[in-house]
Structure 1
Amino acid sequence: MTIARRIRWLGAVVLGLAVVLPGIAHADGDPSARIDSVQVSQGHASFVLTTADVSGKLDSKSVRVQAGSTSLPAQVTPVSSKTVTAAPPRAVVIALDTSGSMAGSGLAAARQAALSYLASLPNDVRAGLITFSDQPRLLVSPTTNRTLVRAALAHVQANGDTALYDAVRAAVATLDAARLGSSAQRRLVVLSDGVDTSSKANLTSVTTQLAADRIPADVVAFRYGSGDASAAQEIASAAGGRILTAQNAGELTAAFAAVARNFTARAKVDVTVPDALAGRSVMLRVAIGSVSAKTLVTFAAVTPPTPAPAPTNAVQPARSHQTSWSWQLLALLAGVFSIVVLSVVLLRWQGSREDTARRLIQRVSQYGPRRDEHHTGEVEGAAARTAVGLVAQVLRSSGVDQGLAKRLDLADVKRKPAEWASLVLCGSTALGVALMLAGVNGLLSLPIGLLVGWLAQHAFLTIRIGRRRAAFGEQLPDVLQLIVGSLRSGFSLAQAVDAVVRDGTQPAAGEFSRALAETRIGVDLEDGLTHVADRMHCEDLRWVVMATRIQREVGGNLAEVLTNTVDTMRERAQTRRHVRALSAEGRLSGYIIVSLPIALGAWLTLSKPQYMSPLFTTPIGVMMVAGCVGLIIVGAFWIRVLIKVEA
């Protein structure tokens, strides 16, 4: 190629660049600003504005929006952790050198520079903090709560050697653990005043990891002096970061301020579109001082107003929507009810299997040389023993351990009072945390959880005690029949009671076993049976004890007396069941009558709150609700009196 041809070819290239480059600049706009996530609707448009190197904050006064030659009013909202936008997340981890060489003024200057850096970051950037001396230490995971990071900075101390490479690796792992996504902007800011002296990782592995994860690291070399900064330079250049040097507190603050400009400011801009621009494609231009950005936007067209439908047609969609919503709620309630019923059936089946296996083991163990009462399967940790011990001390000091132990024994709960109280406390705390996560006030969630937990355990034990006492009353006629058979076979009363214990039917066997145990320490058998009657609230057993005492004083056939007693008890039980069957309709009516207004009021309050709001927002409505509650309570007691028959 001759020189003349080369000159002509070069001139053509220059001329082409002169024509193309201005067009590209005009199309892309200023690289310091960018418009993303444009959304349009009728009379409205919104987008995310990203800017860099802009002094001051983004607000409605500094941002000017034009569509063609028309200025549009704009509402600017800085992007934060609470602003819902399509902008990708951003995070930075500050790795702060706290080795012994940083003690004194060096650590104070580093702390002040880090605080200035946090203040310069946009609100949506998540900031984390790692300190390193002999080894790295994660103080705060990436978060938008600047208060946590500032509090952690206030308590850092300097000592030990410098583990720079380990700190960079820990910072990368922290960003990976945050799971911000592939589109997230992630960076590291590393402050060190010397070369690495104690890391387990090497420089090559650290730079390779930075390059593979594409995490830029900005390294601030503080007071290096004549030290070798090549390692810091390699860390910074591994993924597009940079190294900055500082010899004093002022230069250190300036270095951190320069690093903070790596994160651009972002804001969500909402503009009102006039009808004249509806349906048109125009160039949307946004200016912030000398910085601007532009993009082509097609605004939504204006939808012509539809004629108002007839009143009947207006009611029909709402009514159909309401019906659909009602069926969905009914289906949800039916599903929840089915799951609860299935869970209860499975739990009762599992419990019955466990009870059968336990009774079989107890019967077999009675014939062995000795009975092992220790639970070999339970292994407690040191923390659990400490917690249970503290709870036990609190229960003893408050004087409630004896009462709780008695209730647990009556309910046949194989737990110590301290263990039971610890479980209830843990469950109540978990409920309080769940309420807090659900949006309940933090000052109220924990007391509500504790109150609900205490009420739940009290109701649980009460129900268990009631069922156990009812089962004892139902088993008593069969137990007395077994005693009668033993007496007729020539056994004494104590031997007959021992036969009941060996039969193993709970809870009768366990309670009569208590009476026998008391006789071994000198208590009369009748007194022991009286104690059992008191524990089980069994009036029939009291009558049996009274008959036994009379027979012992005046003589007679005890077996015949007990046979008559058993016949009387069975006839009373049959009469009681007959009365309960006859009163079932009344009890069911009472349940329906009491629950119907409550359920209907709750349903209307949830489905149509504006219809029920006058009952709770007006004085007359509150009085009506109070009157209804009072009448429901009176009606419930009235129905209870009507259907209750003393048998």
Structure 2
Amino acid sequence: MRTRLLGALLGIATAVLPGVAFAGGGPSANVDSVQVSPGHVSFVLTTANLTGTPATKTVRVVAGRTALAARMTQVGRSTATTAPPRAVVIVLDTSGSMAGSGIAAARQAALTYLASLPADVQAGLVTFSDKPQLAVGPTTNRALVRNALARVRATGNTALYDAVRTAVATLYAARLGPSAQRRLVVLSDGVDTSSKANLLAVTRALATSRVPADVVAFRYGNGDASAAQQIASAAGGRTLAAQSSGQLTAAFAAVARNFTARAKVDVTVPDALAGRRVTLLVKVGSVSTAVPVTLAAIKPPPAPGQVPAVPVRQPVTSWQLLALLAGVFLIVVLAVVLLRWQGSREDTARRLVQQVGRYGPRRDEHQPTAEEGAAARTAVGLVEQVLRSTGAEQGLALRLDLADVKRKPAEWALLVFCGGTALAVALLLLGVDRLLCLPIGLVAGWMAQRIFLSVRIGRRRAAFGEQLPDVLQLIVGSLRSGFSFAQAVDAVVRDGTQPAAGEFSRALAETRIGVPLEDGLNHVADRMQCEDLRWVVMATRIQREVGGNLAEVLTNTVDTMRERAQTRRHVRALSAEGRLSGYIIVGLPIVLGGWLTFSKPQYMSPLFTTPLGVMMVAAGVGLIIVGGFWIRALIKVEA
């Protein structure tokens, strides 16, 4: 009963006083993008619901009781980008009740509204009938919105609530920032009939997001206008009534005054207020706003004949330098200890897994693998053709085999290319020149995979050299038990200690195609760059030609190798101090120079902005490189 009475009163009001707003919003002003400099303050002034533009009004700026000289100029789209962005979404009713003259009047009013918006305001369009539809997202390109308005057709029911929720989501999907000014303009000619959302959910969404909605009630009769009023009042909007196309255009013109053109205000600050924190009262037309500002201090000019004071840099005291050196030393030591501890943990865990695996069930070598897609097979095939045509496939396959990487050359090259492309995209997002992103990414990816494979190859060769004395000891035991040399090598392969077992299995595989075992072992020595294994092969060949006890020869060889290893470790321990000193001496100028560059750029800038400074930097880099090689030559001992 209450709803019907309200609708009847609304119908009487619109008939007697057409074009009267149900709820209004008064003029307002806002200040943002404040910039302070000695003797000057500038800011961007934004007004709403003010007749005319701010630049056509007289602005007054008062700080306490002191009136300040101010000059206001209208800003364009490029200048206004320093202020928070502004956006509006037009929510247009295209239900069947708008057919004919109604949709034509709504289209014309919306076009007039777009023409009156300032150029920096982003406008979007959401239409709704049976369900809402996003026609154009918020954009400053007015042609897109005009073309979308030309294509609207009236048909179906009215999903007003769903359309309002879609418009709010569209504003926040545009990612305008937390300080952006967002608003909705809703045109509807009747109550909701087909929305999935209810009125309470819509008003809560508007209140939570703080998006005001101005509702234009077009040709409302005895219908329920309470929903329009609740939508408008949820976040500070207003409701306007229109019964004809002229009133509809006038209503849209009134709503358009929410976005008046911005103006830049330049204020001259007297010397008496310099350095003080004041509240600027800005008055334009009938509205005013206040903003607290800390004014910049003005440095007095030097007296005649007085030399401007140059700030004296405090010298670094001895204890500060000692503290810096101690910090760098502790960081280097901690990094070395952590890396060594992590490597020892990984090696211990790997050895334990291998030892336990010898006594457990054999792993199924025919495990199911993931099925490759057609796109992956095509990409791998293309990369494989490129590698074969350039002759790089064989070399890459050899490096992957030495590094024990279970990937085909084409697959590895494709992974490196994808990683380089991902790095190029990251550099592009960080603002690097688009012409340099892809070359930098591909070169960095190639260098990273090169270093990765080199490190793995070096570790695998070092592990082989450490395992070789134990492997030879096993061969000696097999020979003394009555096995032949080939059977003893087969026992090493069956022992399964990697990488020695895998490499010796290659030698056995070559013997099956007619290659002598000594030649196969020599090939393994070449692959692993193991000089000790070459001596073992040479001793084996001499024993085969002149005769003798091979087990005794290998026993002497093992003893010699272990003594050499012990001597090598002893020398490495004695040279540890020199190596650590080399790391600190080489790294200290780099770390200290980087720290000074970031902490005191004005102190280091002459090194990069003057010819003499650039020459000094180049000479310093050259001396660091020479010193690094010199220290390496001093501490390098052949064992």
- Scaled by the length of structure 2, the TM-score of the pair is 0.69
Structure 1 residue 410, shift from structure 2 partner:
2.0
Distance (whole Å) between structure 2 residues aligned to residue 282 and residue 575 of structure 1: 78
Structure 1 residue 462, shift from structure 2 partner:
0.8
Deviates most, 157-166 or 269-278: 157-166
Identity value in percent: 62
Is the 2:278–2:295 Cα contact (8 Å) retained in structure 1?
Answer: no
Of 489, 493, 496, which residue of structure 2 is paired with 1:504?
Answer: 496
Write the deviation string for residues 31-81 of structure 1: whole angstroms up to 9, x where unpaired.
454679999998566776442345776569974546668451457796999
The answer as to 2:546 corresponding to 1:558 is no
Give the number of the structure with larger relative contact order, counting CA–CA contacts within 8 Å between residues 6 or more apart. 2
Is the 2:46–2:262 Cα contact (8 Å) retained in structure 1?
Answer: yes
Distance 1:334 1:386, change over 3 A: farther
Is the 1:278–1:302 Cα contact (8 Å) retained in structure 2?
Answer: yes
Is the 2:108–2:249 Cα contact (8 Å) retained in structure 1?
Answer: no
Distance 1:37 1:574, change over 3 A: closer
Of 550, 557, 560, which residue of structure 2 is paired with 1:568?
Answer: 560
The answer as to 2:480 corresponding to 1:483 is no
Structure 1 residue 479, shift from structure 2 partner:
0.9
Deviates most, 236-245 or 319-328: 319-328
Please list, as runs of the form range in 1=range in 2, the aligned pairs for 1:30-49 lying within 5 A after superposition: 31-33=27-29, 49=45
Distance (whole Å) between structure 2 residues aligned to residue 597 and residue 415 of structure 1: 41
Structure 1 residue 465, shift from structure 2 partner:
0.8
Distance (whole Å) between structure 2 residues aligned to residue 555 and residue 410 of structure 1: 35
Is the 2:43–2:264 Cα contact (8 Å) retained in structure 1?
Answer: yes
Distance (whole Å) between structure 2 residues aligned to residue 299 and residue 632 of structure 1: 49
Aligned residue number for residue 171 of structure 1: 167
Is the 1:285–1:292 Cα contact (8 Å) retained in structure 2?
Answer: no
Structure 1 residue 216, shift from structure 2 partner:
3.8
The answer as to 2:402 corresponding to 1:407 is no
The answer as to 2:72 corresponding to 1:72 is no
Distance 1:607 1:389, change over 3 A: same
Aligned residue number for residue 355 of structure 1: 350
Distance (whole Å) between structure 1 residues aligned to residue 637 and residue 229 of structure 2: 92
Please list, as runs of the form range in 1=range in 2, the aligned pairs for 1:393-432 lying within 5 A after superposition: 393-399=381-387, 400=392, 402-417=394-409, 420-421=412-413, 424-425=416-417, 427-429=419-421, 431-432=423-424
Structure 1 residue 372, shift from structure 2 partner:
1.3
Is the 1:92–1:189 Cα contact (8 Å) retained in structure 2?
Answer: yes
* Corresponding residue SS for 1:319: coil
Distance 1:335 1:564, change over 3 A: closer
The answer as to 2:176 corresponding to 1:188 is no
Distance 1:522 1:295, change over 3 A: closer
Distance (whole Å) between structure 1 residues aligned to residue 108 and residue 321 of structure 2: 59
Is the 1:481–1:563 Cα contact (8 Å) retained in structure 2?
Answer: yes
Is the 2:31–2:291 Cα contact (8 Å) retained in structure 1?
Answer: no
**One-letter amino acid of the counterpart of residue 506, structure 1:** Q
Structure 1 residue 597, shift from structure 2 partner:
4.4
Is the 2:94–2:128 Cα contact (8 Å) retained in structure 1?
Answer: yes
Deviates most, 449-458 or 36-45: 36-45
Is the 1:63–1:76 Cα contact (8 Å) retained in structure 2?
Answer: no
Is the 1:233–1:243 Cα contact (8 Å) retained in structure 2?
Answer: no
Write the deviation string for residues 213-264 of structure 1: whole angstroms up to 9, x where unpaired.
6644346799x999x998995786574444687999x999987665433235
Long gaps (5+) in structure 1:
1-29
* Corresponding residue SS for 2:446: helix
**One-letter amino acid of the counterpart of residue 166, structure 2:** A
Aligned residue number for residue 120 of structure 1: 117
Distance (whole Å) between structure 1 residues aligned to residue 573 and residue 114 of structure 2: 78
Distance (whole Å) between structure 2 residues aligned to residue 511 and residue 152 of structure 1: 71
Structure 1 residue 472, shift from structure 2 partner:
0.8
Aligned residue number for residue 453 of structure 1: 445
Deviates most, 345-354 or 508-517: 345-354
Distance 1:599 1:536, change over 3 A: same
Please list, as runs of the form range in 1=range in 2, the aligned pairs for 1:266-277 lying within 5 A after superposition: 269=265, 271-275=267-271
Write the deviation string for residues 527-546 of structure 1: whole angstroms up to 9, x where unpaired.
43233223212232233234
Distance (whole Å) between structure 2 residues aligned to residue 603 and residue 622 of structure 1: 18
Structure 1 residue 469, shift from structure 2 partner:
0.6
Is the 1:193–1:221 Cα contact (8 Å) retained in structure 2?
Answer: yes
Is the 2:220–2:241 Cα contact (8 Å) retained in structure 1?
Answer: no
Of 203, 206, 213, which residue of structure 2 is paired with 1:217?
Answer: 213
Structure 1 residue 508, shift from structure 2 partner:
1.2
Aligned residue number for residue 10 of structure 2: none
Distance 1:320 1:623, change over 3 A: closer
Write the deviation string for residues 602-640 of structure 1: whole angstroms up to 9, x where unpaired.
444444444443443333443444344444444444454
Aligned residue number for residue 508 of structure 2: 516
Is the 1:427–1:453 Cα contact (8 Å) retained in structure 2?
Answer: yes
Distance 1:298 1:405, change over 3 A: closer
**One-letter amino acid of the counterpart of residue 562, structure 1:** L
Distance (whole Å) between structure 2 residues aligned to residue 572 and residue 280 of structure 1: 79
* Corresponding residue SS for 1:506: coil
Aligned residue number for residue 626 of structure 1: 618
Structure 1 residue 476, shift from structure 2 partner:
1.0
Is the 2:202–2:231 Cα contact (8 Å) retained in structure 1?
Answer: no
* Corresponding residue SS for 2:482: coil
Structure 1 residue 375, shift from structure 2 partner:
5.7
Distance (whole Å) between structure 2 residues aligned to residue 548 and residue 585 of structure 1: 40
Structure 1 residue 467, shift from structure 2 partner:
1.3
Is the 1:52–1:265 Cα contact (8 Å) retained in structure 2?
Answer: no
Distance (whole Å) between structure 2 residues aligned to residue 409 and residue 515 of structure 1: 15
The answer as to 2:257 corresponding to 1:261 is yes
* Corresponding residue SS for 2:462: helix
Structure 1 residue 486, shift from structure 2 partner:
0.9
Structure 1 residue 485, shift from structure 2 partner:
0.9
Structure 1 residue 549, shift from structure 2 partner:
3.9
Write the deviation string for residues 85-106 of structure 1: whole angstroms up to 9, x where unpaired.
9x9886544557899999xxx9
Distance 1:57 1:457, change over 3 A: farther
Distance 1:229 1:504, change over 3 A: same
Distance (whole Å) between structure 2 residues aligned to residue 613 and residue 505 of structure 1: 57
Distance (whole Å) between structure 1 residues aligned to residue 75 and residue 326 of structure 2: 43
* Corresponding residue SS for 2:314: helix
Write the deviation string for residues 546-600 of structure 1: whole angstroms up to 9, x where unpaired.
4334444554432223223323333443444455455555545554554454445
Aligned residue number for residue 288 of structure 2: 293
Distance (whole Å) between structure 1 residues aligned to residue 593 and residue 482 of structure 2: 67
**One-letter amino acid of the counterpart of residue 613, structure 1:** S
RMSD, aligned α-carbons: 5.9
Write the deviation string for residues 91-127 of structure 1: whole angstroms up to 9, x where unpaired.
544557899999xxx99x969967973982574x676
Aligned residue number for residue 521 of structure 2: 529
Aligned residue number for residue 14 of structure 1: none
Distance 1:280 1:263, change over 3 A: same
Deviates most, 332-341 or 489-498: 332-341
Distance (whole Å) between structure 2 residues aligned to residue 596 and residue 395 of structure 1: 44
Structure 1 residue 267, shift from structure 2 partner:
5.6
Structure 1 residue 173, shift from structure 2 partner:
3.9
Distance (whole Å) between structure 2 residues aligned to residue 331 and residue 571 of structure 1: 38
Distance 1:47 1:600, change over 3 A: closer
* Corresponding residue SS for 1:188: strand
Is the 1:111–1:154 Cα contact (8 Å) retained in structure 2?
Answer: no
**One-letter amino acid of the counterpart of residue 466, structure 1:** G
Is the 2:129–2:156 Cα contact (8 Å) retained in structure 1?
Answer: yes
Distance 1:236 1:594, change over 3 A: closer
Write the deviation string for residues 286-338 of structure 1: whole angstroms up to 9, x where unpaired.
455x5553769999799998999xx9x9968x639999999999999899879
Distance 1:494 1:568, change over 3 A: same
Aligned residue number for residue 20 of structure 2: none
